Amino acid sequence: MSEGEPRRSIATVCLSGTLEDKLAAAAAAGFDGVEIFENDLVASAHSPAEIGARCRELGLGVDLYQPFRDFEAVPPARLADNLRRAERKFDVMEQLGCDLVLVCSTVSPEAVDDDELAAAQLRELADRAAARGMRVAYEALAWGRFVNTYEHSWRIVRRADHPALGVCLDSFHVLSRGGDPALIRTIPGEKLFFLQLADAPRLDMDVLQWSRHHRLFPGQGSFDLKTFAGNVLEAGYRGPLSLEVFNDVFRQADPGPAAVDAMRSLRLLEDQLGYPVAEPAPALSGYAFTELAADATTARDLTAALAHLGFAHTGDHRSKPVQRWTNGSTHLLVNTNSPAKRTAEGEADPGADRGRAAIGALAVESGDPLRSARRAEAMRSPILARERGPEEAGLAAVAAPDGTDVFFCDSGARDGWRSDFRDTGEPSASRLAITGIDHVSLTQPFDHFDEAALFYRSVLGLEPEEVTEYAAPFGMVRNRGMLDAAGSVRIALNGTLVRRGQWAPAVRDPQHVAFACADVLEAATALRADGAPVLRIPDNYYDDLDARFGLDPELLGQLRAHSVLYDRDARGEFLHVFTELFGDRVFFELVQRIGGYAGYGVANAPVRMAAHRRQRAAS
Amino acid sequence: MSEGEPRRSIATVCLSGTLEDKLAAAAAAGFDGVEIFENDLVASAHSPAEIGARCRELGLGVDLYQPFRDFEAVPPARLADNLRRAERKFDVMEQLGCDLVLVCSTVSPEAVDDDELAAAQLRELADRAAARGMRVAYEALAWGRFVNTYEHSWRIVRRADHPALGVCLDSFHVLSRGGDPALIRTIPGEKLFFLQLADAPRLDMDVLQWSRHHRLFPGQGSFDLKTFAGNVLEAGYRGPLSLEVFNDVFRQADPGPAAVDAMRSLRLLEDQLGYPVAEPAPALSGYAFTELAADATTARDLTAALAHLGFAHTGDHRSKPVQRWTNGSTHLLVNTNSPAKRTAEGEADPGADRGRAAIGALAVESGDPLRSARRAEAMRSPILARERGPEEAGLAAVAAPDGTDVFFCDSGARDGWRSDFRDTGEPSASRLAITGIDHVSLTQPFDHFDEAALFYRSVLGLEPEEVTEYAAPFGMVRNRGMLDAAGSVRIALNGTLVRRGQWAPAVRDPQHVAFACADVLEAATALRADGAPVLRIPDNYYDDLDARFGLDPELLGQLRAHSVLYDRDARGEFLHVFTELFGDRVFFELVQRIGGYAGYGVANAPVRMAAHRRQRAAS
């Protein structure tokens, strides 16, 4: 923990594995402390004393032991038993070297609605804790039987008035109920004993199930954690920022990367709160290039398609089998050096008999590439080591969660990335009215979706748009756009909600580069005349388009003739055309945004997927 | 469709793939007709006429075209446009050869709350339809803006009073809102134009999201479809029983098996409704045997463990490398003929470096094995072809969705399964008070969980218990017990809610056989004395058990000394002890039910999983 940074903790329940796996992952990701979840300890073969020693060895404090349930507001006969249970927990905590226990507001049918009784019994518990040098943090569960708001838990703590009794705040329990975090500032800082942080998507469902299955790390969901945590800090809280996230996906994921994802989420939040954890992300000004990785055969198909799209082969890398293709100021690199990566690790690949192609790297134009690199490091995305030749640029790159490399470029610099290439001498004209890269669409396995959004948000400073879902031929698909402040860099994250097995033949997780085009209809006309591999869109689509929108017959006829797709939102219109699929998973798109259209044409994505499936079935 | 059986249909939206994939799967599974979901048609390269011809070729009627949205109760200016949209749909239906369109109750902000207007506009629509020989089925969506109950949709249809306008009933829309299906009988049968069937788990969430993601095939969820459909039939409905199931898992699954699962669900429902589709499942009276498949090395470990558990090697198969191990009347077969199957197809296997072991087959004692086989066939589970030698029994077996073979036996018969084995002459005593197989625990991939429950329910006549969920070291786990009427055959289905990637080292989906034991403490004492590979349970577990239950210290000491686990429910107590893991995924358990304990000790499962992980890490 550096000077000026808060203490960072994580509840063991956030991570998958045995307690030993979890502690190792938390320490490796750089956490300062842990909340030990009782069930993790119960299943461990190590005694609490050994676990405590292990934590100290790993540099982890045991900041909280949890949860202790159904303690307060019970009839006197039950109190003795509850105090007996508490003493057993204190025994365990003593061995662990932990002095703070979490008590959740009761859900017991035995409890009564009596704040005075709850306060008196918690006072007695605090007395017992204090006698052993310990403290009690009382938390209002969102589904607590009588106490389910932090205001109520604070009233009881205030009434109990014991120095060893304070409040634990959990952002989920407050924000899921629409609670107002501003009132937190009315609680004295020294009575705020602990702070648990979790984000979540906005879901209209039973709050217990929402909490148990769908929490997310801060920055991945829809909660305003900056305001929430800001209020807690303003109240004078000086304890750890601790993550407590119950999530079905994280619970089954490798705990190593999950702990890094968790740490990144805290650093982004700290950044938002004004802690000096990272320099601000420099302004971006578009894509410098996108790199496709492919085998030699597929690379030939890709470059033939690029030629149709008006790109010229303008450069060759000085030391690697990488070609630069250029149309105006838009650059695509085609790399046949490394086999295209498959990100869906551990699954059989239905496209294995096809050539391989993938988006291997994105390069963004950064106002300050070195600062971008430092920010990435601060956000726990280490700079990748790269081999390079004597004349090559020292490009900084980091790896996104799905394995895509992200480069920070300053194309104007003398030693910019273009100096890595020998010019072929082939001229590059601006053709087909292509003006740049509109967006890059990256398909994520369902268990990397939220992690990927957080990565691009924290490292590049892109802001995520709302998650949309649509039904597609091979499963429900989630789509989330990410956009920089200037609107110059767009990434579309896509992925099926679930996926297992080998169905979805050859088109399971395509990726693509969408080029901005000033006149898609004209470009599509030229592509057709040129015999380009444009994806054929069926008549049924245009009949339906007509039924839905009642388009001008001439426009409809043109769209139909050239396989151009159409969408409309409140702000404008969208024309787009796709190429066929190359290798197992890459294609191109030309898009034209008319007016303020802000989407990605996802309404048309199922039609495109079915068409790619036909292309594959026919070949 | 045989005489006396209803017409069976399925909405294309239930299945994954392109329209062509879906039609092929529906036909192969034996459906009589389909509801064509508009989006599937729009993405198809075949014209509606070609799709209609394809359906006829496949023997499928096009029973419904759907959905037509936001038609009724609009201002007059909008009506013209809506009628234009409708005529375009009628054009498509004409080509398809479909005469029934589904109109959903409006969710449009333009609509007004005016039944008279809705009825008048629907009457006009019905007039247009009738002019083309078509009809309109009006359905109340559970989230319809004004019309969201079937009673309300019927009031409007009655008021419109047009022969080409009737009601479409959807079990989800009615039962999700707690609607009373009894009133359906007040609707004249000829006004019930269509019946859509879907089951669902009971979820407390937004009904639109519940409908869109979590519907299930009948018999897989919690809805009382027998009563619902019974009322519809009593009202005089004679149209198809049609499935309309939106489910994230089915939407991404191979449509072939999914369509069979769908067909099985309809046949079970018809069976419940008294249609002569299948003979009743014969009464069961326990397990005849369970068969483990393993490689030779792992088989040695398994049989050594069985010897510790008091089993003797009593027989050898006449023609295959299969040993019979016996304790009293309990039989385990160990088969080294076929490599143990892995059910999680398409995923890399983290236990591949271990020996392989799996539960290859279950055999139940049936009162009438031939009838069991006929019922299985009727439930779309074909009898497996088997090679057998001249003296071997003609055992009928079917394959469960996870690949486990299920045999129907009559051990008392002269040519029963035991005649396949030559006796070794080794005597079998009843030892360790093992009295039978309490249950077999089968781990299902998350996308086969509901399909498996339906299989055992429909084929064996087991009744499913409630689904429970618990947090385990490598992910949230679902557990569902299945039990026959006599309580003699129990199967526990387990599986993580989601799973991807290679985490959960070596213990990702274990299976086990749990033996009923009259005295687990005594058996565990003997096993320990015998040096058996009993799974070591850590002290922390017993300390926690003491804190939770305050057990008698002597009992607690015995449990701790012999690694016996303990659970309790409202009806009784449960003692159980586990063996270590053999090969990649098989272990044994001894269980003792005291009083009416009805569970499976799932509260202790996480402790067992962590212990198996330790065993693996240490070896």
Express each pLDDT in A399-428 by its tens digit. Answer: 999 889 999 999 888 878 988 999 999 998
Contacts of A38 in chain B (CB under 8 A): 544
> Of B365, B437, B368, B362, which is closest to residue B398 (Cα–Cα)?
B362
**A150 & A110 share domain:** yes
Domain-embedded: residue B174 = yes
**For position A342, what pLDDT does the model report?**
47
Q: What is the pLDDT of residues A147-177, one digit of tens each?
A: 999 999 999 999 999 999 999 999 999 999 9
Is the model's pLDDT at A619 over the cut of 70?
yes
Domain-embedded: residue A280 = no
Mutating which of A503, A539, A548, A614 best tests the B interface, going by the most B Cβ atoms within 10 A? Answer: A503
Is the model's pLDDT at A345 over the cut of 50?
no
Neighbours of A346 (CB within 10 A): 16
Mean pLDDT value of segment B236-256: 96
**B231 & B313 share domain:** no
For helices B115-131 and B76-96, angle between their N-to-C axes, nearest 10 degrees: 40
Domain-embedded: residue B2 = no
> Of A136, A141, A167, which is closest to residue A235 (Cα–Cα)?
A167
User: What is the rounded distance in angstroms from the CA atom of residue A128 to the CA atom of residue A137?
Assistant: 14
The encoded tokens of residue B562 equal 């012999």
Q: What is the pLDDT of residues B135-149, one digit of tens each?
A: 999 999 999 999 999
**B230 & B293 share domain:** no
Q: What is the pLDDT of residues A462-510, one digit of tens each?
A: 999 999 999 999 999 999 999 999 999 999 999 988 888 888 776 667 8
Minimal-distance CA residue of chain A relative to B348: A346
Say whether B439 counts as a known binding-site residue: yes
Question: Pick from B223, B247, B273: which residue ends a domain?
Answer: B273
**For position A508, what pLDDT does the model report?**
66
Kindly tell me the burial class for residue A160, based on how many C-beta atoms sit within 10 Å of its own C-beta (0-12, 13-18, 19 or more).
buried
Cβ-nearest to A540 among B42, B252, B254: B42
> Of B35, B462, B91, B76, which is closest to residue B286 (Cα–Cα)?
B462
**A127 & A192 share domain:** yes
**For position B339, what pLDDT does the model report?**
61
- Would you say B359 and B290 are in contact if contact means Cβ atoms under 8 Å apart? yes
The encoded tokens of residue A394 equal 């020292």
Is the model's pLDDT at B475 over the cut of 60?
yes
**A113 & A202 share domain:** yes
Q: How confident is the model at residue A340 (pLDDT cuts 50, 70, 90)?
A: low
Is the model's pLDDT at A341 over the cut of 70?
no
Domain-embedded: residue B278 = no
Minimal-distance CA residue of chain A relative to B345: A501
How would DSSP label each residue in A501-563?
SS-STT-SS-EEEEEEES-HHHHHHHHHHTT--BPPPPHHHHHHHHHHH---HHHHHHHHHHT
**B400 & B450 share domain:** yes
Domain-embedded: residue B76 = yes
Domain-embedded: residue B568 = yes
> Of A135, A101, A380, A115, which is closest to residue A261 (Cα–Cα)?
A380
Q: How confident is the model at residue A339 (pLDDT cuts 50, 70, 90)?
A: low
Domain-embedded: residue B3 = no
Kindly determine whether residue B473 and residue A43, on different chains, have CB atoms separated by under 8 Å.
yes
User: What is the rounded distance in angstroms from the CA atom of residue B54 to the CA atom of residue B34?
Assistant: 12
Q: What is the pLDDT of residues A508-535, one digit of tens each?
A: 678 999 999 999 999 999 999 999 999 9
Kindly tell me the burial class for residue A28, based on how many C-beta atoms sit within 10 Å of its own C-beta (0-12, 13-18, 19 or more).
middle
Mean pLDDT value of segment A584-598: 96
User: What is the rounded distance in angstroms from the CA atom of residue B573 to the CA atom of residue B571?
Assistant: 7
User: What is the rounded distance in angstroms from the CA atom of residue B34 to the CA atom of residue A416?
Assistant: 60
Query: Could you tell me what percent of chain B has a pLDDT over 70?
Result: 96
User: What is the rounded distance in angstroms from the CA atom of residue B309 to the CA atom of residue B579?
Assistant: 10
Say whether B512 counts as a known binding-site residue: yes
User: What is the rounded distance in angstroms from the CA atom of residue A386 to the CA atom of residue A592?
Assistant: 37
**For position A476, what pLDDT does the model report?**
94
What residues of A are designated binding site? Answer: 139, 170, 196, 244, 439, 512, 589
CATH number of the domain within which B118 lies: 3.20.20.150
Mutating which of B65, B204, B212, B500 best tests the A interface, going by the most A Cβ atoms within 10 A? Answer: B500
Mean pLDDT value of segment A299-314: 97
Cβ-nearest to B475 among A43, A252, A613: A252
Kindly determine whether residue A541 and residue B92, on different chains, have CB atoms separated by under 8 Å.
no
Range of the domain at B379: 284-618
Is the model's pLDDT at A392 over the cut of 80?
no
Kindly determine whether residue A16 and residue B504, on different chains, have CB atoms separated by under 8 Å.
yes
Kindly determine whether residue B204 and residue A204, on different chains, have CB atoms separated by under 8 Å.
no
**B449 & B529 share domain:** yes
Q: Which residue has the higher pLDDT, B510 or A64?
A: A64
Our CA-based measurement puts residue A413 at a distance from the nearest CA of chain B, in whole angstroms, of 41
**For position A50, what pLDDT does the model report?**
98
How would DSSP label each residue in B389-434?
-TTS---EEEE-TTS-EEEEE-TTSTTSGGGGEEE--------TTE
Kindly determine whether residue B251 and residue A204, on different chains, have CB atoms separated by under 8 Å.
no
Is the model's pLDDT at A347 over the cut of 50?
no
- Would you say B415 and B407 are in contact if contact means Cβ atoms under 8 Å apart? no
Beta-bridge partners for B479: B468, B494
- Would you say A565 and A521 are in contact if contact means Cβ atoms under 8 Å apart? no
Q: What is the pLDDT of residues B170-203, one digit of tens each?
A: 999 999 999 999 999 999 999 999 999 999 999 9
Is the model's pLDDT at B10 over the cut of 80?
yes
> Of A495, A463, A468, which is closest to residue A482 (Cα–Cα)?
A463
Is the model's pLDDT at A567 over the cut of 50?
yes
CATH number of the domain within which A401 lies: 3.10.180.10
Kindly determine whether residue B255 and residue A503, on different chains, have CB atoms separated by under 8 Å.
yes
Q: How confident is the model at residue B435 (pLDDT cuts 50, 70, 90)?
A: very high
Is the model's pLDDT at A391 over the cut of 80?
no
Query: Could you tell me what percent of chain A has a pLDDT over 90?
Result: 87
Phi, psi of B95 (to 5 degrees): -65, -40
Domain count within chain A? 2
Contacts of B17 in chain A (CB under 8 A): 473-474, 503, 613
Mutating which of A251, A345, A451, A477 best tests the B interface, going by the most B Cβ atoms within 10 A? Answer: A251
Is the model's pLDDT at B1 over the cut of 50?
no
Mutating which of B42, B44, B494, B509 best tests the A interface, going by the most A Cβ atoms within 10 A? Answer: B42
Question: Pick from B254, B273, B292: which residue ends a domain?
Answer: B273
**A536 & A417 share domain:** yes
| Mean pLDDT over the full length of chain B | 94
Between A158-162, B29-33, B395-399, the lowest mean confidence (pLDDT) is in: B395-399
Minimal-distance CA residue of chain A relative to B605: A43
- Chains A and B form CB pairs within 8 A to the count of 229
Residue located via tokens 């035991």: B418
Cβ-nearest to B39 among A471, A474, A539: A471
Contacts of A19 in chain B (CB under 8 A): 610
Kindly determine whether residue A540 and residue B44, on different chains, have CB atoms separated by under 8 Å.
yes
Q: Which residue has the higher pLDDT, B200 or B550?
A: B200
User: Reading across the β-sheet that carries A572-578, which strands appear in turn?
Assistant: A463-472, A475-483, A490-496, A434-443, A511-517, A586-595, A572-578, A565-568
**A290 & A311 share domain:** yes
Our CA-based measurement puts residue A588 at a distance from the nearest CA of chain B, in whole angstroms, of 19
> Of A368, A374, A372, which is closest to residue A460 (Cα–Cα)?
A372
> Of A119, A133, A124, A175, which is closest to residue A150 (Cα–Cα)?
A175
**For position A390, what pLDDT does the model report?**
72
| Bridging pattern class, strands B434-443 and B511-517 | antiparallel
| Mean pLDDT over the full length of chain A | 94
Q: E strands, B257-389, where?
A: 284-294, 312-317, 322-327, 330-335, 357-366
Beta-bridge partners for A392: none
Neighbours of B429 (CB within 10 A): 10
Our CA-based measurement puts residue B545 at a distance from the nearest CA of chain A, in whole angstroms, of 9
Cβ-nearest to A610 among B44, B550, B614: B44
Contacts of A614 in chain B (CB under 8 A): 18, 45
Neighbours of B580 (CB within 10 A): 18
Phi, psi of A356 (to 5 degrees): -105, 140
User: What is the rounded distance in angstroms from the CA atom of residue A31 to the CA atom of residue A8?
Assistant: 5
Question: Pick from B220, B254, B273: which residue ends a domain?
Answer: B273
Cβ-nearest to B473 among A18, A253, A611: A18
Kindly determine whether residue A474 and residue B16, on different chains, have CB atoms separated by under 8 Å.
yes
Residue located via tokens 């850590």: B538
